Amino acid sequence: MKKEAFSHGDLIEITTFEGIKKGTYMPSSEKFLTLKLESGYNIGISKKKIKSIKLISKYKKPKENLCNVSKKKNLKTITILHTGGTIASEVDYNTGAVTAKFTPEELICMFPELSNIANIESKLIRNMFSEDIRFAHYNILAKEIEKASKNSDGIIITHGTDTIGYTAAALSFILENLNIPVILVGAQRSSDRPSTDAAINLICASQFIAKSNFAEVAVCMHENMSDESCLILPGTRTRKCHSSRRDGFKAINSSPIAQVKTDGTINYINSSFSKTSNLNLKLKLIKENLKIGWIKSHPNMYSKELEVYKSFDGLLIEGTGLGHFPINSTDKETKEHSKMLNTIKALTKKIPVAMSTQAISGRINMNVYSTGRLLQEAGVIGNYSDMQPETAYIKLAWLLSNHKKEVKKLFTENLRGEISKRSLE
Ligand code: ASP
């Protein structure tokens, strides 16, 4: 390939022996040229295979400081706290790196519609993937929410989608007497891709804060494949059910709170939520050094898998069906299961061991089969709960941090909408 007559960010057309490819020229390696296709995906093309390159248009650096952040008196104030993830990230065509945009100016430049919905403040808390989030980050966020709540009508937390449901659950428990909305927003596709969901999710969350009197923690994500509406999902009931679809977020054992359209129309689906108030927000943090285990029931288990939790502070079992675990020795092949039952008995003497189910929806009922009854006799708690395992895990940590003596009692009591007495279907 001859000396490059184009620079990073230029739109180019490459002819190879295999065909023609059009896209943005990205920082490349010695042997491969990286091209960002219109779909947003990057491909590497072996430089040896390139016959010719045509420049279509030069990269235009976006003009800076042209976005209007002046405050409007009649609008509410929303503070956006950034934690990272795909949302609000953009490719820098000079370096090829995905960078987070976090000043109010940058946000309004990226999503100009926001300035007509609310006065935007923002703060970068972290720029991390949500799979790396730990209990300590929940506390950092909660303290920032407390600070920001003093001069905001609502908070948006931009967050990676992988563990957005866990953070929503953690904040739901930590923020006691919450008096304003705290809405977590993610994006499955980054904002430099044509199919990005970042803008719509952020706009819907802002519209919801601007036009409702909701005062709980919730998640706002795409409702369906169209770009017209989002769902406000309950903080203790949201799960990422699809690894990449923009509408992959569902309310488990519950219904969404509302549908929000980008034009600000709100259709309430379940209005039994806490409203904005003058309550005094109280932080009930999660102890950062707690060790909570989580074990998923599966065929061919060994008691050794359970034994590691002897040094932990609590254990969540993600059982099968109505809340089961392999503890029945019915033939020589299942001898190991008696050991499992004994290990569970030893564990429950030291730490709370709670049950949840790996079934996607539904409630556990450990009275139906003898397995469930034996587990209860062995000291496993959690019967009748319809909490999804993610929320059960967070709740166990939160109870051990704040209500150590009442874990057994409170685990199956509804505190933040995480448990319902009656099942939906
Ligand atoms: N793994 C990323 C995260 O959860 C994906 C995303 O940002 O949506 O942070």
292-410 classified as CATH 3.40.50.620: no
Residue 312 has pLDDT above 70, yes or no: yes
Residue 163 Cα: closest atom of ligand 1: 4
Give the start-to-end residue ranges of the domains of the chain.
11-57, 77-283, 292-410
At residue 180 the predicted structure's pLDDT band, cuts being 50, 70 and 90, is very high
Cβ of 130 closer than 6 Å to ligand 1, yes or no, is yes
pLDDT in the model for residue 95: 60
pTM comes to 0.86
pLDDT in the model for residue 13: 93
Name which residue leads in pLDDT, 111 or 311: 311
Residue 86 has pLDDT above 70, yes or no: yes
pLDDT in the model for residue 69: 77
Range from 74-88, 168-182, 369-383, 398-412 carrying the lowest mean pLDDT: 74-88
pLDDT in the model for residue 231: 98
Instruction: State which of 129, 193, 197 you would mutate to test the pocket of ligand 1, scoring each by most atoms of that ligand within 8 A of its C-beta.
Output: 129
Cβ of 186 closer than 6 Å to ligand 1, yes or no, is yes
What is the assigned CATH class of domain 77-283?
A: alpha beta
| 10-14: long-range pairs with CB below 8 Å, 24+ | 10/55, 10/56, 10/57, 10/58, 10/59, 11/55, 11/56, 11/57, 11/59, 12/53, 12/54, 12/55, 12/56, 13/53, 13/54, 13/56, 14/45, 14/50, 14/52, 14/53, 14/54
At residue 370 the predicted structure's pLDDT band, cuts being 50, 70 and 90, is very high
CATH number of the domain located at residue range(s) 11-57 in this protein: 2.30.30.520
53, β-bridge pairs: 14
At residue 10 the predicted structure's pLDDT band, cuts being 50, 70 and 90, is confident
Fold agreement (77-283, 292-410): yes
Rounded average pLDDT over 283-289:
98
Range from 38-52, 85-99, 237-251 carrying the lowest mean pLDDT: 85-99
- The CA-to-CA distance between both ends of the chain, in Å, stands at 64
